Amino acid sequence: MKNGARKRADGAGLPSESGNSRAESGEKEADAFEPWRVRLFGEFRAERHGRKAIFGLKKAANLLAHLVFHLGETVSKERLVESFWPDSDSEKGRHSLRMAASSLRSALAAPDWNPEVHLPSTRDTLEASSCGFVTDVQEFRAHLAAANSIEDPSSKACHLRAATGLYVGPLLDGFAEEWIYPQSLPLEESFAQAACELILIQAQEGDLAGAAGLGKRAIALCPTREDLHVALMRAYALAGETSMAIQQYEELERMVDETWGEEPGKAAREVLESLPRTAIAHVRADTIAPESPSPGFASKPPTRRAAFFGREAELGLVRQQLASEDGFRLITLIGLGGFGKTRIAEEARIESFDSFERRSWMVSLLGCRNEDEVQEALMAPFEGLPQRVSDPVQVVGARIGSQPGLLVIDNCEQVLREASAVVEALLANCPKLRILATSRVPFGLPYELAVPVGGLPVPSEGTDLETLLDSPIVRLLANAAQCVRPGFAVTPDNARGVQALCAMLEGIPLAVELAAAQLGTLSPAELVGAIGRRTDLADNDRRIESRHRHLRSVLEWSVHQLPAEEQKALAKLSVCRGSFKRDLAEAILGSRSDKALNHLSSSSLVSWSERSDTLRFCLLETVRELGQRLLEKDAKAKKDACAALVRWATHLTEGIHQVESHSEASLWAELVSTETVNVLAALQACVDGVVEPEEAWKLAFPLVQLCEYRGWAQPWIRAIESLLEATRERLSQATLSQAHATLRLLYYNLRDIRNAHRHITSAVRAADEDGSPLLRGRCRSSFSVTASLLGQFEEAQRAATEAMELLLVAGEPVSAARSALFYGWVVFDRGDEVESEPFFRRALELGESSGDTETIGSSLLGLACSVGHRSHPDAQPIFDRALEQMQELGKPGQLGHSYFYRSLIDYRHGRLRAAMENFAESVMAFTGAGIALGQTPLTIGGTILAALGRYDDAALCWGRAEALRESHGMTMFPTQQRDFDREFPKVQKALSEEGLRRSMRAARSATDEEIREMICRAVWAVRA
């Protein structure tokens, strides 16, 4: 066994010191090849060259996890079907497996990574090759094997440290497949044993901080393992930290009592008994010694238990109410558990202690279950009261009397009815008493001021370091992190990770404190990647109250107090993403949506905000995760909710078919844009098979119109690619053709011409299979555009000719006009500007006969360019008409094209100032709508800038255009090439050949925003 383990540790399974998973002595070609790195511990992810794999089908991720866990082994397809689709018959299961495998290969494929080689398949088996993948489980086992074969403690510690660092959570946390749990147990056992061994080695070497950090992290990951507590106790004992060892024993004592109702085992007791007896007695006496009573009716001054951050708004409101004679006598801080209600109440009590003549008391109802226990808790802070009284509320009221006083009552939600009776009685009998309560729901009393307590403000991405350091949530994180990593600070190196972590935790103080406990061994950025679901955050730190040691249990308590129907409503609403309006809630919940929203809002589980006179509701992502857990337990409710979401989204996107004007179309686009995340959620539900494929595409097709009006294609491409992958085998050829054509337009919007051409080629094939002249003609029209951009002019011309013939046969003058238009642009771009004029005139004739604004505007633009090539004055009124049509149309992409082609004609006639102004208008139209700048406008812009003597700016445009051409396999149009060749030597001479190339290389990474700023500067310079 050891020899075998040693061989593996020395080979491909073990990372080198540089982090490379291959042996340093490998072949040069092997070193150049990078496998997919798959993380199986904690949250599943696969990465390669910094790219994270995105899986169109959830089952594709599950399939990859199963295959790489059995890396290098052939896995029976029958076994996979039984594991992943147990309820399907053999044929349907095999079909589902093929779909998942296809989606998996598509997600992982790369030019230098062939899925056919690294995911080989036979008729009956699948396999993940050991040269195509590396997993953390593989490396974890290799490090443990290496550690077992080494005697030297320092060398052993290196491997143990690496192994324990890889274990960031249970195997495939969040996955529900049955095969995972039995495999996870031995891995957890191995991690715990390695952690115990490393804790003792570090303690023996004098590294107590390292031992304590590892121990706390290991206990957080495996909270019920007694051996980890014992190892940490031994480490403290070795370092002479007797009190810490005893505290750890007490933590263990609480854990085993709460979990199993037992006492710690023999090993823990032996470590405890080996400690100095005087220390044990002293610490335990310290722990249980009661406070001495204070005489009189004044209360003891409250003390601040820990540092307090932020909450100026909530404290200011409470302070104002308490100071005002007309203020509310009952103030209730409401919010979910873990949001800091108790801390705010304690801070308010500290601040107001003297103003209430030192008559301030705090009552905790934590653990109370009935009226007797509430009344017993009420008497606790009042010293000198009789132990047995018939009416505790009356006795406490008499003690408070008619003098000013503040009573803080914490955790009222557990016994709301009983607490409400106490509050009403005390306020009735004590005229100057103020009550500050904390509860997850308000009392609902008429004289109550409910103060919502949400998360702390989260700094936005890109916040500068100084502002970040002033943020309360960041200060809370840093303060909590110093408990496990002394000296932790927010620096320029980790600032981005700190911001991302605070944003991920949604500003929830409890979540931040629980996450900070893991910063002993992880950086903030690493912790962002290590956290799976937020609700899984937990800590065993004894400084944190036991009820707050697991975020999920805190939230589950609130949910479990809801009636069954409200729990079901919360679960169904979890299919929403981000915020949503009442109409979506009604679509999912039906007629009872208003009642459910009111109830969930009063329980702090749903928040709301008012935007542009519209009320929008929102679930915190943390709450939504919990709702998703509930929904997973009710398959019918999940299907109903997802189907309702799809129906709602389809109704929303199909609204484009009812608009009658371009202004209405713009309003529709704005409406859909505000619901982007929920429409994306609906698309994912379609991918998951909630509705039939043809119905799913009714939702997707109108999104093309959205991109034309808003130019925002990026969010939709991945979702629609996934939908195509999931449904292609069950679509009609007509729908399949339309699906590919949709993706062609989305990619074209991003100027990704290669992928646009790939999809339109598939669309043409499907259209030919369908046989519809209309569909065949439209697809060929689009094909001619991308073929032309790729320099395939003969194919483009042939496609445009065929398209016109087919569309005229189909009786579609608008589509035929666009084919003539595309033909004209093919001729123009290849450098035959004069010969393109008849095609543009034909397109204009057909467009005007149909009255289609877009076709008329585009035809006028083409005609203006062809006329402008020979006569600048004759072209200007045609350009003006074209721009008028495009502005009426309201599509920024079309408007941008109009301006940059006008700038081209201005340039060719020496009107350089006008050319610069028009080019700037083009850039503003594109970037303002989020449309990527393509190689054509960038090349033209560079040419104009060069003619103006702005050589560095010209190099910036040309360099970016060159990068786009190389990235997408495009060529420069001959008509552009002539102008470029005229100006390039000037720039080359001014900057030197090497300087020009250096500038163009640097420009390859320039963003559209940087180019827009440069163009603005250039315009102002030209005007000056």
- The residues near 524 (Cβ < 8 Å, ≥ 6 apart) are 477, 494, 497, 498, 500, 501
Q: What was the pLDDT predicted at 552?
A: 58
Nearest to 920 by CA among 779, 1018, 801: 1018
Give tens-digit pLDDT for 781-801. 899 888 887 888 889 889 988
Nearest to 490 by CA among 456, 499, 216, 462: 499
Number of H helices, E strands in the chain: 50, 14
Taking the C-alpha atoms of residue 996 and residue 1001, their distance in angstroms, rounded to an integer, is 9
Taking the C-alpha atoms of residue 735 and residue 729, their distance in angstroms, rounded to an integer, is 11
What average pLDDT does the segment 577-583 reach? 88
Q: How confident is the model at residue 547 (pLDDT cuts 50, 70, 90)?
A: very low
Find residue 890's DSSP bridge partners.
none
- The residues near 978 (Cβ < 8 Å, ≥ 6 apart) are 831
Question: Do the bridges between strand 45-48 and strand 51-52 make them parallel or antiparallel, or are there none, so unpaired?
Answer: antiparallel
- The residues near 848 (Cβ < 8 Å, ≥ 6 apart) are 856
Give tens-digit pLDDT for 183-216. 998 999 999 999 999 999 988 888 888 888 899 8
- Residue 1017 reports pLDDT greater than 50: yes
- What would the 3-class secondary structure string for 690-702 be? CCCHHHHHHHHCC
Taking the C-alpha atoms of residue 345 and residue 334, their distance in angstroms, rounded to an integer, is 11
7 phi and psi, to 5 degrees?
Answer: -60, -40
DSSP 658: G
CB 619 within 8 A of CB 574: yes
Residue with tokens 């109702």: 261
- Residue 934 reports pLDDT greater than 50: yes
- Residue 291 reports pLDDT greater than 80: no
- Residue 263 reports pLDDT greater than 50: yes
Tokens of 783: 């094909």
Cα dihedral 398→403→404→406 (10° resolution): -20
Taking the C-alpha atoms of residue 711 and residue 884, their distance in angstroms, rounded to an integer, is 20
Of residues 812 and 189, which shows the higher confidence score? 189
Tokens of 715: 């969010």
51 phi and psi, to 5 degrees?
Answer: -100, 130
Residue with tokens 């109009």: 898
Q: How confident is the model at residue 549 (pLDDT cuts 50, 70, 90)?
A: very low
Residue 266, classified by CB atoms within 10 Å of its CB into exposed (0-12), middle (13-18) or buried (19+), is exposed
Question: Do the bridges between strand 36-39 and strand 45-48 make them parallel or antiparallel, or are there none, so unpaired?
Answer: antiparallel
Q: Is 41 helix (H, G, I), strand (E, B) or coil?
A: strand
Give tens-digit pLDDT for 647-679. 999 999 998 888 777 677 778 888 888 889 999
Q: What Rg value do the Cα atoms of the chain yield, rounded?
A: 34
What average pLDDT does the segment 377-392 reach? 80
Taking the C-alpha atoms of residue 211 and residue 205, their distance in angstroms, rounded to an integer, is 10
Tokens of 583: 């109409």
Tokens of 643: 């189907």
Q: How confident is the model at residue 620 (pLDDT cuts 50, 70, 90)?
A: confident
How many C-beta neighbours within 10 Å does residue 628 have? 16
- The residues near 701 (Cβ < 8 Å, ≥ 6 apart) are 653, 738, 742
Mean pLDDT over the full length of the chain = 84
- What would the 3-class secondary structure string for 232-278 be? HHHHHHHCCCHHHHHHHHHHHHHHHHHHHCCCCCHHHHHHHHCCCHH
Give tens-digit pLDDT for 89-130. 877 888 888 888 888 887 888 777 888 889 998 888 999 998
CB 445 within 8 A of CB 177: no
CB 118 within 8 A of CB 64: no
Q: What was the pLDDT predicted at 427?
A: 93
CB 659 within 8 A of CB 665: yes
DSSP 57: S
Tokens of 238: 């070795």
What average pLDDT does the segment 774-778 reach? 93
Residue with tokens 């909710």: 641
What average pLDDT does the segment 341-351 reach? 89
885 CA to centre of own chain: 40
Residue with tokens 């010209």: 954
DSSP 110: B
Tokens of 694: 């043809």
Q: What was the pLDDT predicted at 849?
A: 85
CA distances from 384 to 298, 305, 359, 395 (A): 12, 25, 15, 11
